Amino acid sequence: MRIFVLDKNLKPLDPCHPARARELMKKGRAKVFKCYPFTIVLPDRIIEESTTHSHRIKIDPGSKTSGIAVIQEETGRVTNALEISHRGQQIKDSLESRRALRRGRRNRQTRYRKPRFLNRTRKAGWLPPSLESRIANIETWVRRIRKVCPITAISQELVRFDLQQMQNPEISGIEYQHGVLFGFEVKEYLLQKWGRKCAYCGIKDVPFEIEHILAKSNGGSNRVSNLCLSCHSCNQSKGNKPVEEFLKKQPEVLKRILAQAKAPLKDAAAVNTTRWELYRRLQLTGLPVEVGSGGRTKFNRKIREIEKTHWADAACVGESTPSQLLLKGIKPLVVKARGHGRRQRCGTDRYGFPIRHAPAQKFFMGFQTGDLVKANVPNGKYAGTYTGRIAIRFKPSFKLTACSKSFDVHPKYLKTIHKADGYEYQFK
């Protein structure tokens, strides 16, 4: 993991080794600029006197977690990696709760009001807030990385699955049919759909085969709705038997397989819905944007024998992936989206009746809820040094959560390490 470096004018220089950063700070030549991602500034250096190399941001968008890798293109070294956990499902649940509360209130107070649900318009390209938040998270971190690293290009996994090939694997065209990526698109889809385990026996971490639920010899097709994952022994045992006959002693497994075979991939739908809007916004950065498919990503990772993780998938996106990736010593920064608080001032009980009202003010004595602080408590039951996050109260008694403890502390014992920015951080 490399350390981001800025010059005296806050222009990005090449990232440096952590040992080099410690040496510069020990000699007083560098100061900490920010903690997440860790960045130092050199007050005696300007970018005109330094040589910088081109770096590329690679992005593997996901429904729940997205991977980002920063690669120095000349050497193939992965200098930094992030895994961003999205809060799309949390936003969806909050909106549904709000909708239920509003609906109940309208029924109670404005029962005879004329319906107005058809008089609202949405701008072109509108996306639901749960999907918009996924794009905004990636946008935010691309912008932040560009401020601290000399980025010259971006790579994005644009198409998660090649839907045309999945629906018709016998598509005409010898190059498309027998290209180097043939089979990777369908199998990657099935691995996600069936949870990377055998559909019949549930075994994991073994080589899987693509199994036709209704055998081709009995009229089955190659459509993905007729495909599942199977271990070798289950595939051989089933043969061309009807699945009802093969699982006649396991009715629950049969019911699950028939239901799951027709079920769409919710997470894949979220990625496919946001991919083009993310691509359009990345183009607005003015940098060249390379795109690649999920099959290409898996192919690059397999031939380089890299273990599957979100950030490693990001490093393998697109044709620009170097023949040798240097991954030694990489510990990804795990970023969890938490939001910037909420605008709801009125708290309700489970029936929707108001029970409390929060003040509109967000800051008190220079602190905000969510700030990462260092506390030096001189005496009392919790005497000691702690690092954690605070929840402010509008009196000199904040709630500090650190080391699996929660207790009250006076602001005079607190020193801010990192201001609340809507994210939580930890290293994997």
Domains of the chain and CATH, by start: 1-50 (no CATH), 164-171+180-265 (1.10.30), 359-420 (2.30.30)
Instruction: Give average pLDDT by consecutive 10-residue segment, the chain, 428 residues.
Output: 93 94 94 93 88 93 93 93 94 89 81 74 87 95 96 88 51 45 68 87 89 89 86 91 90 88 73 89 94 88 90 92 89 92 81 82 89 91 91 90 89 92 89
Q: How far apart are CA 236 and CA 230, in angstroms?
A: 9
Burial class (CB in 10 A: 0-12, 13-18, 19+), 44: exposed
Residue pair 76/322 in contact (Cβ under 8 Å)? The answer is yes
Residue 80 has phi, psi (to 5 degrees) of: -150, 155
Q: Please tell me the predicted confidence (pLDDT) of residue 277.
A: 92
pTM: 0.77
Q: Please tell me the predicted confidence (pLDDT) of residue 178.
A: 45
